[in-house]
Amino acid sequence: MSINATPHVHVYDAQGRMTCCSLEEKIEIKTGPPPLRPHEEGDGHDHDHEGISAWREYLPAITSFVLLLSGIAMDEYVQPAFFRGWVRPVWYLAAYLPVGWPVLKEAVQAIGKGEFFTEFFLMSLATIGAFAIGEYPEGVAVMLFYAVGELFQTAAVRRAKGNIKALLDVRPDEVTILENSQTKTIKAESVGIGAVIRLKPGEKLALDGELLSETASFNTAALTGESKPDTKTKGDAVLAGMINLNTVSQVRVTTAYTDSKLSKILELVQNATAQKAPTELFIRKFAKIYTPVVVVLAVLLVVAPYFVVADYSFRDWLYRALIFLVISCPCALVISIPLGYFGGIGAASRNGILFKGSNFLDIMAAVKNVVMDKTGTMTEGVFKVQEVKINPGFDEKKTLAWVNTLENNSTHPVATAIHLYVGAVDNSLKFTETEEIAGHGLRAVLNGKPVLAGNFKLMEKFGIAFPAELADIPYTIIAIAENGQFAGYITIADQIKEDALATVQKLEKLGVQVTMLSGDKTAVVKLVAEKLGIKNAFGDLLPEDKVNKVKEIKSRGESVAFVGDGVNDAPVVALSDAGIAMGGLGSDATIETADIVIQDDKPSKIPVAIHIGKVTKRIVWQNIGLAFGVKAVVLVLGAGGLATMWEAVFADVGVALLAILNAVRVQKMNFS
């Protein structure tokens, strides 16, 4: 909540002492103690310590509040004889120091660093001035409510930080590994690739790996936001953060601790606050200029009337200037705005959506076009072979064997479908000159003869003739050629995701136009688009064709979000205003290249991301309007002598509290 370029907030230590840190440091996910292990919970000691710390944190404000109320009561109602002379100012000084001393100290330290225009300096100057002219209750009240505001800010940031930390930071520090049939507990970061982890029911997996047990069920809530059990079988990939549910399982580590999907997700969220939204950047620059200007105006408010007002009273005009200074603190703006964006990031994380920066919340709020890939985005990406048609003159068994072996070099879901249909790879087949042609398929040489497996564009590229009517089949087709002759084809079908239709309908209600771009056959793309109600759908596109389509949309001056795998469509992701990755848990490159990652692969999270962006932006602008509006009114009233220090307190701290409470609303909303 700084007046300077870098916002500062207060943190209270275990002894109740106020310390200063930047807002980024305060909301940094990796700060603070690591999460408790299961055996540490419920012992009572940590909870007792937290209770004592909380009591000490609020004790200075409580002490000041009690002394202030009793002082006002003696001033206005009881009026005891002893509460006169030097006793009254000493009493209020005692009420002032518990909350005022830390601020005075911070003001001196900031001035020593050359930072004059800080909230510490303004509050110190205003309250000392109030004491100097005998307005003791007002001086105490300003500092007390300022301290209460700081406590509210600390609590709000702690909540925002805790929401994300509780969702993501679930990596155990230690794991149990098997060595020579013996168990051994070691630090998770020291586990090497290839090590075998023994995972008991209820334990969290610390590293990515491959399941060695025949079957196991996992809770994936930490990664996807879904608590529904996910059953894995032998050979399936399992990820750090998953919780083993029922039986003792064994997992072979496939990725280093620092390279796990969860580690990358944690890093993504930790760095999210580094990329600021334009509104946030503007407020920072504004505060840096605004505060010194107000300080100069406050000085002029004391001096200038001397030359133009006949019955000039230094005390009256100084009081007005002090009110002016209290109001000038832009606390509500420079704390509630970043807190609002951080709350939006936290709300998205709870819904399994990871934003790489608050700027992407603004982009999603304004997005008018969602362009999406088909496979793995609106469809399951789990292909199954429907039909195999091998022409006479070709040995079907041998042809399928070499296609299966050749496709083993590809990571495309189609290759997986063929492998599941054909079975084991024939390693006796030796290919040379193997080449994957982007957007076409695979080419190689087998026993001195060229072989091809891919789409019909691949056939055309190498001059292979094929029946034209095959292009009308509304399924994905793998065309096959041997030694310059068309050998046949394999049809493969994909299933539409169950929430895909609802996704399109929700996007249309939000006023967002949906376009589907795919490298798959036009007939397949049109069939899927028809079932989903998508009017703009294009197939048979190469990566450069997708780029041209997105450029065409952007030429209308509308923002575009692209949803895909973030790897094959890298050029389109780079061109779009926001790149959204589906299948983030399956690809390291996706997490690294996309701006937004949807963890559970559900397209229904796209409208949720847009909704969160819109709500966050609305809350931020509500806070801006509230802060500017109230401050402008009270500044004018204060300069005209119509507002007291009490109104100034509301205009500063009161508005800041309202803005903070408004900002944290996004964390409690249900966006599902």
Tell me how far CA of residue 631 lies from CA of 332, 634, 645, 648, in angstroms: 10, 5, 13, 9
Q: 262-276, 281-295, 523-537: which has the highest mean pLDDT?
A: 523-537
Cα end-to-end span (Å), the chain = 32
Which one is predicted more confidently, 93 or 335?
93
pTM higher than 0.75, yes or no?
no
pLDDT at position 32 over 60: no
Which of the four pLDDT bands, split at 50, 70 and 90, describes residue 224?
A: low
Burial class (CB in 10 A: 0-12, 13-18, 19+), 558: middle
pLDDT tens digits, one per residue of 281-304: 565 566 567 667 777 888 888 888
Tell me how far CA of residue 92 lies from CA of 84, 123, 159, 587, in angstroms: 12, 16, 34, 63
- Cα–Cα dist 45/54, whole Å: 14
- Cα–Cα dist 606/200, whole Å: 36
Long-range contacts of 309-318 (CB under 8 A, 24+ apart): 315/133, 316/641, 318/129, 318/133
Q: What mean pLDDT comes out for the span 197-208?
A: 87
β-strands 560-564, 369-372 pairing: parallel
pLDDT of residue 521: 78
Q: Count Cα neighbours of 605 within 13 Å in the Cβ-side half-sphere.
A: 26
- Cα–Cα dist 23/343, whole Å: 13
Which of the four pLDDT bands, split at 50, 70 and 90, describes residue 25?
A: very low
pLDDT at position 411 over 50: yes
pLDDT tens digits, one per residue of 492-501: 888 888 899 9
pLDDT tens digits, one per residue of 599-642: 778 899 999 999 999 999 999 888 888 888 887 887 778 777 77
Topology of domain 384-493, CATH: Calcium-transporting ATPase, cytoplasmic domain N (3.40.1110)
pLDDT of residue 44: 39
pLDDT of residue 607: 95
3-state secondary structure of 563: strand
pLDDT of residue 34: 35
174-259 and 356-375+497-599, same CATH topology: no
pLDDT of residue 490: 93
pLDDT of residue 9: 43
Q: What mean pLDDT comes out for the span 544-567?
A: 83
pLDDT at position 446 over 80: yes
Q: Are 429 and 446 in contact (CB under 8 A)?
A: yes
pLDDT of residue 392: 93
pLDDT at position 334 over 80: no
Q: Domain ranges in the chain?
A: 8-167+270-344+613-668, 174-259, 356-375+497-599, 384-493
What is the CATH number assigned to the segment(s) 174-259? 2.70.150.10
pLDDT tens digits, one per residue of 110-122: 888 877 767 677 7
- Cα–Cα dist 333/43, whole Å: 41
Which of the four pLDDT bands, split at 50, 70 and 90, describes residue 226?
A: low
What is the CATH number assigned to the segment(s) 356-375+497-599? 3.40.50.1000
Calculate the average pLDDT of the chain.
Answer: 78
pLDDT at position 100 over 90: no
Which of the four pLDDT bands, split at 50, 70 and 90, describes residue 29?
A: very low
pLDDT of residue 125: 77
pLDDT of residue 370: 95
Q: Are 269 and 164 in contact (CB under 8 A)?
A: yes
At residue 434, what is the residue type? T
Name the residue with tokens 């002029």.
300
Which one is predicted more confidently, 197 or 582?
197
| Residue 373 bears catalytic tag | yes
Q: What mean pLDDT comes out for the span 119-141?
A: 79
pLDDT tens digits, one per residue of 34-48: 333 333 333 334 445
pLDDT of residue 6: 40
Name the active-site residue from 169, 208, 362, 373.
373
